[in-house]
Structure formats: C-alpha cells, structure tokens
Structure 1
Amino acid sequence: VLEEDGFNCEHPYFHCFVAEPSSKDGGDAIVPDNGGELSDTGACGGSKEREGDNLNGNTLLGYALYFYTYSTWKGKALYLEDLYVTPGCRGQGLGSALFNRVAKRAFESHCCRLDFSVLNWNPAQDFYKAKGAINITEEEGWHHYRLDREALVKLALEVNKADITNE
C-alpha cells in the first residue's frame, strides 16, 4: 500500500523523510532534503520491516511520514503520521533531526500548524513537549475518532440505499 499510495502515483497521498547512514561503513546518520518524496529511493518502511530495512542498498535508520491537511479555521496544515527511529539509533538526535525537518517543511509550505497524535503510554511525549508541542486533548478538549473500514462500508451502503429510494 505504501508504494501504491506514495511512490508509484502522480499525486502521492503522503511524503517522507528518511534517515540513513552517511557512508556504507555506518557513519553519522543523514536526513537528506530531497523534497520530501522518495520516488527514487523506494518505500520508507512499514509495520512489517523496520529496523535495518534495506532501501536500494541503503540502511534505514529512521523516517518521518507526513501529509498535508486543512483546517477550516486556520488554513493549510501538516500532519505527521509516523516518526520512527530504529532502537539502536535512539537517543542520538536522529528523531530530533527528522522532526525538525518536518517542522521546517511545514513552515516553508506556509502551514499554520503541525499536528500529530501520540499514544498515552509513549515516553516520546516529553520529547514533543520539549519541542514546544501542546497536548490539545488537555488544552482544547479535542478527541480523535476513527471510522474503520467496516463502518465506512455500512455508511456507504446507507447512502446507496437512500439514493435508490429517492429515484
């Protein structure tokens, strides 16, 4: 799904920054600024293969996957879907470099904000707070909801049924 939705299409649904070693011997990590797309590098990792993932001969150390969204109150926004750093690379500034790169992209794209969700057990909450993030669940009372595929099918069928009875 990642390749289909982000790399092998004319208008990708998401963009990605990838961190990889700066040399084949595993030197310092780099986060190349390649416009945020990886069509020349391949998929940026999914749930099945993360640590040490190999991208055309390059080892994946971490990634940040994001997409643009819109607030009717504020305007264009950026949503960070995933920020992942392999366990062996944590605590070395790689997550910070990826996060800062996404924030820079949001700024350069004239976004009003950068949104993301964090699980309540995730110790990275302190990292985000140190970067200036505000917990809007506490501050503004926002709660995120989701319709899964089954609920989408049910609602789509209701629309189809209503369309048929209105004909």
Structure 2
Amino acid sequence: MIITETDRLILRHFEPKDTKAIFLLNSLPEVLTYIPGEPMTSMSQALQILESVILPSYQERGYGRWAVEHKADGKVIGFCGPTFITEFNEVELGYRYLPQYWGQGIGFEAGAAALERFKEYDIHEAIALILLGNKGSEGVARKLGMKQRNRDKFMGHKVNVFHKIL
C-alpha cells in the first residue's frame, strides 16, 4: 500500500519481497553505528522483524515504519515513518537509509512527506530519538523543523529527543 510519493521516492508499506532490504538496513556496520542492538546475521531475522513487528504495527495502529523506494532504480533504500514508542508514550518519526543514498537530501524529502501524512493517523506531534553523536540524523530532524527537547535514555543508550508539533 502506497502512503505517499515525492519526485524521487515512494513511501509504502513493507512487504515480504522487502526482506533483503530489511536485512541490509539492519546488518551493515556503517548503517548501525548509531543504532542500538546487534547486527542481523541472517535473512530469517529480517523476515521475523517483518512478520512480528512491522506488519502487526500496520494492523494494530494503522501505521508503522514505511519502506522508502527510490523511483529511479525501484530499490527499497531505507525506511521512514511513525512508530509508537511505549517507553515515551509518543510517536517517533524514525528513518534509516543505505549509505550510498546519504547526502542526497533523501532523509529530508522522505521525512517531510511522512510527517505530512501523520495527521491522517491522528498523530499531532512527533519525536525523533537520536543517539548522541549522530549529527546526520540530527541535521535531518532540524531541517524538518524538529527542536531538541531534552536528553534521555532509550534501549540503554543516551539519546537526544527532538520534538515537533504538527
């Protein structure tokens, strides 16, 4: 299901055919520098995340992390979208992209398009939880109009909490 499109991107629901992309986004060391948890080591782990986390979120809440597909090559190059963070009782705009697409404005483009859709899901404010030192993600959050609210802990790591009322 397509959520929205931009000039270069399609934001849509993840599907079983995207398992390899989920694996890449959760196994490449350069992508995981500022992501808590261990890298994935098998495709079965990616399929498990799809089936036990991503798809149930779509069913339970109507939203979840959305696949970001690059129109030019038809590849899923990352994810961007909302997820409910129980520990904060808030909805996070999360995003992650393959390294070859960094520095091209894709994070901002997808993030802006995603935030425009949040109200359709009755989401009126968003946070971004960014591990200390992740200047790239902080830059995207700031460009999207998010302001640093405070510093907190998430999954055992210190994070800067960015916030925006939509």
Normalised to the residue count of structure 2, the TM-score between the two structures is 0.50
- Give the aligned partner of residue 63 of structure 1: 79
Q: State whether residues 77 and 106 of structure 1, in contact with CA within 8 Å, keep that contact through their aligned partners in structure 2.
A: no
Indicate the residue corresponding to 1:159 in structure 2: none
- Gap change, CA 1:12 and 1:133, over 3 Å in 2: same
Rounded to whole Å, the distance in 1 between the matches of 2:155 and 2:96 is: 22
Residue 7 in 1 paired to residue 55 in 2?
Answer: yes
Partner amino acid for 1:87?
Answer: P
Could you report, residue by residue, the CA deviation over 1:33-71 in whole angstroms, capped at 9, with x for unpaired residues? xxxxxxxxxxxxxxxxxxxxxxxxx5321112532468x
Contact conserved, 2:81 with 2:111, CA < 8 A, in 1?
Answer: no
**Are 2:95 and 2:107, in contact at CA under 8 Å, matched by a contact in 1?**
yes
Normalising by the residue count of structure 1, what TM-score does the alignment of the two structures yield?
0.50
Query: Which one has the largest radius of gyration?
Result: 1
One-letter amino acid matched to 1:120: L
Residues in 1 aligned to 2:58 and 2:92: alpha-carbon distance in whole angstroms: 20
Q: What is the alpha-carbon root mean square deviation over aligned residues?
A: 3.3
1:135 to 2:135 alignment:
no
Counterpart amino acid of residue 112 in structure 2: N
Give the % identical residues.
13
Opposite residue 11 of structure 1, the aligned amino acid is Q
For 1:102, the equivalent position in structure 2 comes to 114
Distance 2:135 2:95 in 1: 13
RCO greater where, 1 or 2, for CA within 8 Å and sep 6 or more? 2
Residue ranges of structure 2 left out of the alignment (5+ in a row)? 1-47, 157-166
Q: CA deviation at 1:128?
A: 1.4
Distance 1:112 1:8 in 2: 22
CA spacing shift, 1:143–1:60, aligned 2, 3 Å: same
